[in-house]
Chains A and B, each alone.
Chain A
Amino acid sequence: MMLSIKNIHANIDGKEILKGINLDIKAGEVHAIMGPNGSGKSTLASVLAGREEYEVTEGTVTFLDQNLLDLSIEDRARAGLFLAFQYPVEIPGVSTTNFIKAAVNEKRKYQGKEPLDALAFLKIMKEKMALVEIDQSLLSRSINEGFSGGEKKRNEIFQMAMLEPKLAILDETDSGLDIDALRIVANGINQLRNQNRAILLITHYQRLLDYIQPDFVHVLYNGRIVKSGSKALALELEEKGYDFITEETDL
């Protein structure tokens, strides 16, 4: 098992958001987590990545045989957990290339490898740029500064390609994308799908799943996974709306 979440409860500012999440993900699988606004989707992503505003009050998370909750944010990342941000952050004056180079080399250091020299790094970068159709000029700009919504999301997937994570959590990567951008991003993600990598898609809408076929779909509501199923569940949700599940649960 790559990731095993057992009975996770988490608070922010004393308010309980996650109320007992259980989820197992194996290498090679793509899981989609769907749910209405405020159900706890992004909180789950933040808790897994280690965001410190969230307090885990109960439960365990095992990631590649390690206790994930014991690891620092950066060690989780270096161990292979990647979060594609819903709102990627701007860092003025830091070029995208330098940022990614720093990240790649931190990961290599963690793995006991030598840092990549400029030439080797550039070569890898060129290969991966094609995946998300990202332009070289974008990479010399300050990271995310003045990027359009589509550019930011493509840049996230580009970083995923560069960092080659074991587990990629994509937090509403489809939000704010027009149909062309969505296709490009989804296409990039599909190319990064492989037997050794797991992907956790967090999305509000079914439309992303038209492009990326999940193996499993889970519905998160009020801090719990209330229903799990196949791709068909997503289609059912689209047809009937979240109400059919929330009403069922609230009863």
Chain B
Amino acid sequence: MNEDLDMLEQSALNDYKYGFVTNIDTDTIPKGLNEGVIELISKKKNEPEWMLAWRLKAYAYWLKLVEPTWANIKHPPINYQDIIYYAAPKQKEQLNSLEEVDPELLRTFEKLGISLNEQKRLTGVAVDVVMDSVSIATSFKEQLSEIGVIFCSISEAIQKHPELVKKYLGSVVPMTDNYFAALNSAVFTDGSFCYIPKGVRCPMELSTYFRINAENSGQFERTLIIAEEESYVSYLEGCTAPMRDENQLHAAVVELVAMKKAEIKYSTVQNWYPGDKEGNGGIYNFVTKRGICLEDYAKISWTQVETGSAITWKYPSVILKGDHTIGEFYSVAFTNHHQQADTGTKMIHLGKNTRSRIVSKGISAGQSQNSYRGLVRAAKGAINARNYSQCDSLLLGDKCGAHTFPYIEVKNKTAIVEHEATTSKIGEDQLFYCRQRGIDAEAAVALIVNGFAKEVMNQLPMEFAIEAQKLLAISMEGSVG
């Protein structure tokens, strides 16, 4: 066995930079899930009656479901009674400005590289930060509201924009959609809400930073983005969590609605704690993300860079309902050590002349398992639907696995669906070539992996592309000797 490959197999400690814990008083409720807990969450959030009714309905439905087992992942059974469903850093009830945010929290986010201090920000990125079950702060809110853009936490939207929430919540991902969506609908605590009015091109990137801090808690994020006719928004989410031996559950639901000629670009840089190199701890990231191009000429584009989580289970999808609508999915999923990822997309072509494009790049190292699972469906009425899918897998070492599960359902003859898949290994020849030019093995692997992922990285907003590239390099540390 060649030494380079031996090095690839050696899994040294992966330094997870974001694994610290913030010491802050947390308002938590007891572990467990029942109607009383849901009522308590709703009460803590001072929610209207209809919201509680909706939650309870979802809960009743969830009770009838069993956890799905079709994904290519393995984990011990999750005890849903052993999770804390609400945990919030204690601070003043109503914050009038960022100055009132607990300095300890501000320091936490500074440490994570998220400056909440608007004056210090160089680029025009508005941020909503969510810690455990609540939104801490949202920047640039006033500036955005001047042009009619609503960017706030979902909790605030329930209070201030109930008509919009009522209309769209659960309209793309119904509470009955799947096990985790039903659970989320019952117990979701916070997330972001964005509303872009007709004809407005959102002048800055909107982003949400999710942080899990409290022990034994689960995070149930709910995000809703609505882009009215001829509007445009680019949204980005990031996420991290402390290093803990226990597994923590993050079960999110994200819904996107794009009206006529609207465009939503949604980017994720997912860096939840992946667990240690033996596979202890880490986040279970079980997420339902779906967008609908409701009216003609709408476009929804998902870009994800997934490097964290012990287990990732997510399929950001697009329903192409309007005619001439476009759905895109660009994904880089990197797994190391004992991480497992089962991720991909669904492109549901309903309208005429709809187009979708899928580019998935899976990179596996260590003993990890990385699966692409995708569905392309062209309904009977989806005349001239077009899909192009490309799924490439790169293996580092030979103890990891890459799997591809493409499902294609075409119900009309005019649809054209193309699928290409490749699997490759970082070759000894490539490593030797780089090293002969003075580039050491670790830098060479980073170079090769970044080259492999480039097509997807190029889709990220500029500010985040560089971050994502660095993140990929950090995640790879320890995958080479």
CB proximity to A under 8 Å, residues B1-19: 2-4
- Closest CB-CB distance, A53 to chain B, in whole Å? 6
Contacting residues, chain B, for A93 (C-beta < 8 A): 450-455
Whether A91 touches B435, Cβ cut-off 8 Å, given contacts A52-B4, A74-B440, A106-B440, is: no
* Inter-subunit contact A142/B451 (CB<8 Å): yes
| Residue in A74, A83, A142 whose CB lies within 8 Å of B439 | A74
* Inter-subunit contact B436/A83 (CB<8 Å): yes
* Inter-subunit contact B439/A103 (CB<8 Å): yes
- Closest CB-CB distance, B227 to chain A, in whole Å? 32
- Closest CB-CB distance, B148 to chain A, in whole Å? 41
Interface string of A71-92 (1 = CB under 8 A from B): 0111011100011010011111
Q: How far apart sit A106 and B447, CA to CA, in the bound complex (Å)?
A: 13
A99: CB under 8 A from chain B?
yes
Contacting residues, chain A, for B3 (C-beta < 8 A): 52
B465: CB under 8 A from chain A?
no
- Closest CB-CB distance, B106 to chain A, in whole Å? 35
Q: Taking CB as reference atom, which chain B residue is nearest A87?
A: B429
Q: How far apart sit A49 and B437, CA to CA, in the bound complex (Å)?
A: 10
Whether A110 touches B438, Cβ cut-off 8 Å, given contacts A52-B4, A89-B427, is: yes
Q: How far apart sit A159 and B275, CA to CA, in the bound complex (Å)?
A: 42
Contacting residues, chain A, for B443 (C-beta < 8 A): 102, 106
* Inter-subunit contact B447/A94 (CB<8 Å): yes
- Closest CB-CB distance, B6 to chain A, in whole Å? 10
* Inter-subunit contact B435/A73 (CB<8 Å): yes
Contacting residues, chain A, for B453 (C-beta < 8 A): 93
Contacting residues, chain A, for B447 (C-beta < 8 A): 91, 94, 98-99, 102
CB proximity to A under 8 Å, residues B396-450: 427-430, 432-441, 443, 447-448, 450
* Inter-subunit contact A107/B438 (CB<8 Å): yes
Contacting residues, chain B, for A88 (C-beta < 8 A): 433
* Inter-subunit contact B433/A85 (CB<8 Å): yes
- Closest CB-CB distance, B84 to chain A, in whole Å? 43
Q: How far apart sit A142 and B430, CA to CA, in the bound complex (Å)?
A: 13
* Inter-subunit contact B448/A53 (CB<8 Å): no
- Closest CB-CB distance, B313 to chain A, in whole Å? 28
A126: CB under 8 A from chain B?
no
A163: CB under 8 A from chain B?
yes
Q: How far apart sit A104 and B178, CA to CA, in the bound complex (Å)?
A: 53
* Inter-subunit contact B2/A102 (CB<8 Å): no
- Closest CB-CB distance, A139 to chain B, in whole Å? 15
The secondary-structure label for the interface of chain B is helix
* Inter-subunit contact A92/B437 (CB<8 Å): no
Contacting residues, chain B, for A207 (C-beta < 8 A): none
- Closest CB-CB distance, B380 to chain A, in whole Å? 39
What interface size band does chain A fall in? 20 to 34
Whether A53 touches B2, Cβ cut-off 8 Å, given contacts A89-B430, A93-B450, A99-B447, is: yes
| Residue in A89, A90, A94, A103 whose CB lies within 8 Å of B438 | A103
* Inter-subunit contact B439/A106 (CB<8 Å): yes
CB proximity to B under 8 Å, residues A36-95: 49-53, 72-74, 76-78, 82-83, 85, 88-94
Q: How far apart sit A185 and B443, CA to CA, in the bound complex (Å)?
A: 30
What interface size band does chain B fall in? 20 to 34
Q: How far apart sit A107 and B437, CA to CA, in the bound complex (Å)?
A: 8
Whether A103 touches B433, Cβ cut-off 8 Å, given contacts A91-B451, A93-B451, A142-B451, is: no
Contacting residues, chain B, for A85 (C-beta < 8 A): 433, 436
Q: Taking CB as reference atom, which chain B residue is nearest A75?
A: B438
* Inter-subunit contact A89/B437 (CB<8 Å): no
Q: Taking CB as reference atom, which chain A residue is nearest B437?
A: A103
Q: Taking CB as reference atom, which chain B residue is nearest A89?
A: B433
Q: How far apart sit A102 and B437, CA to CA, in the bound complex (Å)?
A: 9
- Closest CB-CB distance, A91 to chain B, in whole Å? 6
- Closest CB-CB distance, B428 to chain A, in whole Å? 8
* Inter-subunit contact B452/A49 (CB<8 Å): no
Interface string of A220-247 (1 = CB under 8 A from B): 0000000000000000000000000000
* Inter-subunit contact A99/B437 (CB<8 Å): yes
Contacting residues, chain B, for A72 (C-beta < 8 A): 435, 440
Whether A163 touches B437, Cβ cut-off 8 Å, given contacts A73-B432, A91-B430, is: yes
* Inter-subunit contact B439/A102 (CB<8 Å): yes
Q: Taking CB as reference atom, which chain B residue is nearest A52?
A: B3
- Closest CB-CB distance, A128 to chain B, in whole Å? 15
* Inter-subunit contact B436/A49 (CB<8 Å): yes
Q: Taking CB as reference atom, which chain A residue is nearest B422?
A: A92
- Closest CB-CB distance, B424 to chain A, in whole Å? 9
Interface string of B1-42 (1 = CB under 8 A from A): 011100000000000000000000000000000000000000
* 6 A-B contacts (beta carbon < 8 Å): A52-B4, A52-B432, A78-B438, A94-B448, A102-B439, A106-B439
Q: A92-B451, A98-B447, A103-B439 are in contact. List 20 more A-B contacts (CB 8 A).
A: A50-B435, A50-B436, A52-B4, A53-B2, A53-B428, A72-B440, A74-B435, A77-B438, A78-B438, A85-B433, A88-B433, A89-B430, A90-B430, A91-B434, A93-B450, A93-B455, A94-B451, A99-B447, A102-B437, A102-B439
Nearest first, the 3 closest Cβ-Cβ pairs linking A and B are A93-B451, A94-B451, A103-B437
